Amino acid sequence: MAEIDVIVIGAGAAGLMAARELVKKGKSVCVLEARDRVGGRIYTIYDNPMSGHIEAGAEFIHGDLQTTLSLLREAEIPFHSLAGKTWQQKNGVLKRETHFIEHWDLLVQRLKELKEDMSIADFLERWFGEDKYSSLREGVRRYAEGYDTADTARASAIALRNEWLHEDEEETYRIDNGYGELIEYLLNECDKGDFELELNSAVTEIHWQEGRVAVFTENEESYLAKQAVITVPLGVLQAEAIKFTPAIPEHTMAVQDMGYGGIIKLLYLFKEAFWESIKNEQGSLKDMSFVISEQEVPTWWTQYPKKSTLLTGWIGGPKAAALKNASEESITELGFMSLANIFKMSVEDLKAQLVSCYIANWSSERFSKGSYSYVTTETAQARQLLTAAIHNTIYFAGEAMYEGKEMGTVEAALKSGIEVVNKIL
Ligand SMILES: Cc1cc2nc3c(=O)[nH]c(=O)nc-3n(C[C@H](O)[C@H](O)[C@H](O)COP(=O)(O)OP(=O)(O)OC[C@H]3O[C@@H](n4cnc5c(N)ncnc54)[C@H](O)[C@@H]3O)c2cc1C
């Protein structure tokens, strides 16, 4: 095979964005993707027994995110704002609430006073160790694990502060026909240039010297290029699934300093949107968007405002990682028990309502090994090293390599794809 300019490893949002920017600038690009599909942690399943599409991976656009939204506008892909009400189940009772964490104002004040970074677990112990704050500690833990899929013993208190204090200011969106449309668009854009995509090509080794790389795949193919952009998930890097010759020990160690969580998404399609007919003194669940509970599968959401009978459950952080090897049946059962406790229904009644169910256990997937990155107290230093090119030849990109409050998201992946190309050019 003729030598190409750049090999991009991974055809997720970062890899395809980088490839599109490179071919636009006249570079020849070969993307090597381990799976038999593109998209990575964006996985919209169109061909399924459920009605319409389902998002097994990324689903929301968390805010007015410039790169994602402008790409959607450019591609003329329709998206809509989320609507509906969030409910909370506390002490077995369903309530409407805005702040889920007790003593929220005091928590914010203490976080704002924080000068030196520490893990959020240490922060809680230092300022909120007393018994009277047990509910606050539990609330913070649930939030950090659920939303950021983080381990509180490693997650940076300052990073969480920055994230939490800027919440609720912006809209959240969903793409009408799923994130898959964005991936499809990027792929079509790549095809306009000197571009090749090889699926089922798990990279196992990279031999490199300045200005030259030889990339080897599991199916015993090899590819030559001047430069390589590695966009595989942080979890894959942490597992040292790709061997470098000569070795890059500092980089190999740096990836361990960054945080990478676990996630399981549970998608249950029911015959009817049964929750819509549930009412209590606080109102009706007809326009419910999210429910946050104390159950094993704590968070659930509907497709509101879209009419749908789909409920999506979410287990994040160490709990999800601990279920890495659990069977689909046992996870499905956990989901049923959680729903039964939240909506005060019997598991049998729920099962009778079920049309189909899909469990996406990303922690057990060989090519993701988890959810997305979170900031530890050591992330900044590690990322600085990883995002500096190695002899203008090896580059790391992907959501984890992006510095900014969107780290962990599709936006971060897209921006990182652009940033790495700017470095190459
Ligand atoms: C369940 C879930 C829900 C999420 N929800 C949201 C959300 O609502 N909103 C949001 O913005 N973000 C969300 N995210 C995060 C978002 O999906 C990711 O941040 C983003 O898609 C990452 O893109 P990426 O290109 O960096 O990595 P990836 O999409 O993981 O792409 C990396 C690619 O590398 C490939 N690969 C791995 N190993 C190899 C190898 N050895 N050789 C070749 N290829 C390899 C993988 O198959 C993959 O295609 C969610 C993630 C998950 C898992």
**Averaged over 391-416, what is the pLDDT?**
96
Distances in Å between the Cα of 198 and the Cα atoms of 7, 133, 205, 230, 264 are 11, 53, 16, 15, 28
Within a domain: residue 298?
no
Q: What is the CATH number for 216?
A: 3.50.50.60
pLDDT at 99 over 70: no
The range of the structural domain enclosing residue 412 comes to 4-45+178-259+373-424
**Averaged over 236-257, what is the pLDDT?**
98
Whether ligand 1 lies within 6 angstroms of the CB of 155 is answered as: no
- Number of domains into which the chain is organized: 2
Same domain, residue pair 254 and 384: yes
Within a domain: residue 415?
yes
As given in the structure block, the two tokens for residue 315 are: 């287990």
341 CB contacts (<8 Å, ≥6 apart)?
A: 89, 92, 293, 295
Count of C-beta atoms within a 10 Å radius of residue 228: 25
Residue nearest to atom 50 of ligand 1 (CA): 58
- CA–centroid distance, residue 15 to ligand 1 (Å): 10
Whether ligand 1 lies within 6 angstroms of the CB of 410 is answered as: yes
- What per-residue confidence (pLDDT) applies to 162? 87
Within a domain: residue 420?
yes
Whether ligand 1 lies within 6 angstroms of the CB of 298 is answered as: no
15 and 229 in contact (C-beta within 8 Å)? yes
Within a domain: residue 380?
yes
| 201-213 pLDDT per residue, tens | 999 999 999 999 9
As given in the structure block, the two tokens for residue 94 are: 């369903």
Whether ligand 1 lies within 6 angstroms of the CB of 59 is answered as: yes
Torsion of CA 21, 23, 28, 31, to 10 degrees: 60
Whether ligand 1 lies within 6 angstroms of the CB of 13 is answered as: yes
User: In which region does residue 19 sit, left (phi positive, over 0), alpha (psi from -120 to 50) or beta (all else)?
Assistant: alpha
Same domain, residue pair 9 and 158: no
Same domain, residue pair 112 and 159: yes
- What per-residue confidence (pLDDT) applies to 152? 96
- What per-residue confidence (pLDDT) applies to 90? 84
Same domain, residue pair 139 and 183: no
Same domain, residue pair 123 and 186: no
Same domain, residue pair 151 and 9: no
Q: What is the DSSP string of 306-374?
A: S---EEEEEEETHHHHHTTT--HHHHHHHHHHHHHHHHT--HHHHHHHEEEEEEEEGGG-TTT-SS-EE
Same domain, residue pair 152 and 8: no
Within a domain: residue 379?
yes
pTM here is 0.96
Testing ligand 1's pocket by substitution, the residue of 410, 414, 416, 419 carrying the most ligand atoms inside 8 A of its CB is 410
